[in-house]
Structure 1
């Protein structure tokens, strides 16, 4: 039975001990192995409540969720960045959360999108969602965000993206590359380690990390060429800050592994 009834309704109608208890139950359920409790209950409630919480409550929620990056259960680790993304969108990001996230994201080894018992895990996609949310914050360094996305792509793995993780990470990179403070060199320098890694390829089966990276860059090329919008909105399409430079750099990098391309 889902436990969401413990924090169902409008948080603004709660006060004192009841409000604190509801938030405590929500945090606990964010690491539940039952997807009905974690995803359908705790996460969707968190997404609804975060915009109306007090700033101190958002800070406490974020502090507690950040601790989940070191949790032994994959569902706890994987849902931490998703909640932090919603906090960031509400204006509650704290710089001290960066290091735990940046240490966890490329190091996570359980990259399953969906598990028949645990439900959606999606560590790569959820981490990408946090990167995309951070990319919309003017004070964030887009170079740092892009480099972390590359670290995730190039990390050794035996998992082949199978639940559109490449699309989500490409979208995050497109949002990062839309930052107005980027210059042309910064918009493309992050591809240097990718090209270097591609050049280490040898005859034989394509390693999962390489396939994941190729597909992510191909989707990024489409978004850069055709434009993108903020997810789940009707805002007009926009493109990255230095479109032509990024398109040329992506084409050149992909040509390393697709020498038949133009």
Structure 2
């Protein structure tokens, strides 16, 4: 990066203070471009933390709707590619859009239409993302699934979202898990997805009548397919089955132990009590987890 690196290193060393020697638009455009840099020191060490700090400090409050719209365009940069560097821009755009949603919870800076628009774009990207790599040698973290889960968790916190929108977020997570892939989630993505669901549950807008069929839909992927005699069975578990099983186990554990969010007043309140559906949903999860591994888990006696 040369001169540019030295400039941004000074900004970081200053505690992320906003420079006044260049227009904010120019600074922002440069940082957003850097979100897709192949060097993790640039992308993860400068661009994201600087922009996240400025969002949380209210630098963009009067511009937040336009800022979020611009960032969300990065979700579609090279979408459909797998194994290329384009995933970096998509993934870190998701993480930055999550920061924008969380800022609105504090500043009430945007109209609900903007949050709905960001949610639509997030959902469209997340279910279509094909590059599910976690850590990439020489590039650092790609982590599109984890960052997408963080974005969904941010949207689930938004008071602009009611029962309908929260139900859609659950369906987006299910679609993501059930979409055929060759990637196994090996870097904590299942826990991040489970936490996103926990955030939805803590809103206390969805009952077991919605949640049970949603779990059953996921559980169907845990059952090996029946193949005709003479037909070679696919390797089992498939990546989809393995990823979904890990997610359901993670969700069960988080629901059993409880979770905490960020130490903000909003999250302290949101996660202060267990979800109202906790007991009923635990029973559903126990049932499908037992059924998914009948050779391991005992069946409770009547």
Q: What secondary structure does 1:161 align onto? A: coil
TM-superposed deviation, 1:183: 2.0
Q: What secondary structure does 2:205 align onto? A: coil
- Structure 1, residues 132-167: CA drift from partner, whole Å, max 9, x if none? 111112331221111111111111111111111111
Question: Pick from 95, 99, 110: which aligns with 1:86?
Answer: 99
Aligned equivalents of 1:240 and 1:5: distance in 2? 48
TM-superposed deviation, 1:106: 1.7
Q: What secondary structure does 2:259 align onto? A: coil
Residue 225 of structure 1 contacts residue 239 of structure 1 at CA under 8 Å; is this kept in 2? no
Residue 95 of structure 2 contacts residue 151 of structure 2 at CA under 8 Å; is this kept in 1? yes
Alignment of 1:163 onto 2:176? no
What are structure 1's unaligned runs of at least 5 residues?
none
TM-superposed deviation, 1:6: 4.3
Q: What secondary structure does 2:292 align onto? A: coil
Partner of 1:71: 77
Aligned equivalents of 1:189 and 1:134: distance in 2? 22
Alignment of 1:229 onto 2:253? no
Q: What secondary structure does 1:241 align onto? A: coil
- Structure 1, residues 188-221: CA drift from partner, whole Å, max 9, x if none? 3321321333345356420011111101110110
Aligned equivalents of 2:257 and 2:71: distance in 1? 36
Partner of 2:283: 248
Aligned equivalents of 2:284 and 2:5: distance in 1? 47
Residue 179 of structure 2 contacts residue 240 of structure 2 at CA under 8 Å; is this kept in 1? yes
**Change in 2 beyond 3 A, CA 1:226/1:11:** closer
Residue 113 of structure 1 contacts residue 162 of structure 1 at CA under 8 Å; is this kept in 2? yes
**Change in 2 beyond 3 A, CA 1:82/1:4:** farther
Aligned equivalents of 1:48 and 1:11: distance in 2? 7
Structure number with bigger Rg: 2
Residue 135 of structure 2 contacts residue 141 of structure 2 at CA under 8 Å; is this kept in 1? yes
Aligned equivalents of 1:144 and 1:232: distance in 2? 27
Alignment of 1:42 onto 2:66? no
Deviates more, 1:86-95 or 1:44-53: 86-95
TM-superposed deviation, 1:15: 5.2
Aligned equivalents of 1:121 and 1:249: distance in 2? 33
- Structure 1, residues 201-260: CA drift from partner, whole Å, max 9, x if none? 356420011111101110110111111110467947642230111111112222331124
5 Å-filtered alignment, 1:113-152, equals: 113-140=134-161, 141-152=165-176
Q: What secondary structure does 1:181 align onto? A: coil
Task: Give the RMSD, CA atoms, in angstroms.
Answer: 2.4
Question: If the length of structure 1 is used for normalisation, what is the TM-score?
Answer: 0.90
TM-superposed deviation, 1:96: 1.2
Alignment of 1:62 onto 2:68? yes
Partner of 1:211: 242
Deviates more, 1:183-192 or 1:170-179: 183-192
